[in-house]
Amino acid sequence: MAKKAKTETVAMEIYHSPAGDIVLGSAGGKLVCTDWLNGAHQSYEMVRKRLGGEPFREGGSALTRQAAKELDEYFRGERKEFDLPLRFVATPFEEKVWKALQRIPYGKTVCYGDIAREIGQPGASQAVGGAVGRNPFSIIVPCHRVVGKNGTLTGYGGGLPAKRILLGLERPGEELL
């Protein structure tokens, strides 16, 4: 008989950002998600299932409060990088893509093909797009900095209005396609 996977409870709280509400979740002393509450992808549900299906426990944790503090600093223009311990609940490919996203500098954008080349899989732009779409760490693992090949804004889990807000914050005065 197959061994049942261990389940973990995720401490969560809702962060009210200028771009929309975000689910902050932690488990085992690491952040497991910062995902849009009403977003298209709801990656926090994927994380919950991968951790064994336990429901999130409201009330947050010291780590989700730290994440909220750092997000406040980001939205005030005081923070360009995050200093939070992350736990990627991911396939090896997703983890590789998400780590590449973390290397995109504040205020810069790249396309899916750039990420595919960086991870050594130049023909995998479409698969990279799928992994970017499953990123459960919105803003902190900056998938909003990924745009279409011609520089146009492409889909975003928090919606294109949220993506415009984030890129506008990072690139004030610059026109977005």
The answer to whether residue 157 is domain-embedded is yes
Give the CATH number, domain containing residue 38.
3.30.160
Bridge partners, residue 146, by sequence? 110
The answer to whether residue 38 is domain-embedded is yes
Q: Read off the pLDDT of residues 10-63 as tens digits, 9 standing for 90 and up.
A: 889 999 999 999 999 998 899 999 999 887 667 777 787 887 767 677 888 999
pTM greater than 0.75 (yes/no) = yes
The answer to whether residue 103 is domain-embedded is yes
* Token pair in block for residue 123: 């023909």
Residue 64 and residue 106 share a domain:
no
Residue 112 and residue 53 share a domain:
no
DSSP letters spanning 18-73: TTEEEEEEEETTEEEEEEETT-SS-HHHHHHHHTTSPPEEET--HHHHHHHHHHHH
* Residue 50 structural domain: 10-75
Residue 96 and residue 59 share a domain:
no
Spatial contact of 134 and 94, defined as CB atoms under 8 Å apart: yes
Q: Which of 131, 139, 143, 147 is catalytic?
A: 143
The answer to whether residue 1 is domain-embedded is no
Q: Residue 45: what are its φ and ψ, rounded to 5°?
A: -70, -40
Q: Read off the pLDDT of residues 109-163 as tens digits, 9 standing for 90 and up.
A: 999 999 999 999 999 999 999 999 989 999 999 999 999 888 888 888 889 999 9
Instruction: List all residues 6 or more positions away from 26 whose beta carbon is below 8 Å from its beta carbon.
Output: 10, 11, 12, 32, 60, 61, 63, 64, 67
Residue 158 and residue 120 share a domain:
yes
Give the CATH number, domain containing residue 96.
1.10.10.10
CA–CA gap between residue 128 and residue 125 (Å, rounded): 5
Residue 110 and residue 64 share a domain:
no
Structural domains in the chain (count): 2
CA–CA gap between residue 48 and residue 33 (Å, rounded): 9
pLDDT value at position 3? 45
CA–CA gap between residue 156 and residue 158 (Å, rounded): 5
* Token pair in block for residue 156: 């975003």
pLDDT value at position 55? 67
Residue 65 and residue 20 share a domain:
yes
pLDDT value at position 14? 93
143 catalytic per annotation:
yes
Question: What's the alpha-carbon Rg for the chain, to the nearest Å?
Answer: 16
